[in-house]
Chain A
Amino acid sequence: MLKDITLGQFFPGESIVHRLDPRTKILLTILYIAALFVATGVVAYAIMLAVLVVCVALTRIRVQSIVKGLKPVVIIILFTAILNIFFTAGETVLIQFWKITITREGVVRAAYMILRIVMLITGTLLLTYTTSPIALTDAIERLLSPLKALRIPVHEFAMMMSLALRFIPTLIEETDKIMSAQKARGADFESGGLIRKARAMLPLLVPLFISAFRRADELAVAMESRCYHGDKGRTRMKQLHMAARDWIALLLGLALLGGMIVLRVFGI
Chain B
Amino acid sequence: MSRRSLCRFGLAPALAVAVVALAVAACSAPGASSTAGSGATGSGTASGPIKIAVVDAQSGSDSDLGQFEWRGVSLAVNQANAAGGIGGRKIDLTLYDDQGDPTVGVELAKKIASAGDIAMFGTAESAVTLAMAPILESEQIPNITSGQSTALVKLNSPYLFLNGPTGLTYDSTLATYLVKTKHYTKIAMLTNNDSYGAGEESAFSSSLKSLGLAPVAAKVVPADQTNMTPELTAIHGSNPQVLFIGAEEAQSGLIVKQARALGMTAVIAEGAPAGTPLYMSTAGTANADGTIVSSPYLGNGASAAAAKFAAAYTTAYGSAPELHGAKAYDGAEIMIAALKACNGCTGLALASAIRAVHYDGLLGDFSYDSSGVGIFATAIGIITDGKIVPVS
A and B physically associate: no
**A residues with CB within 8 A of B:** none
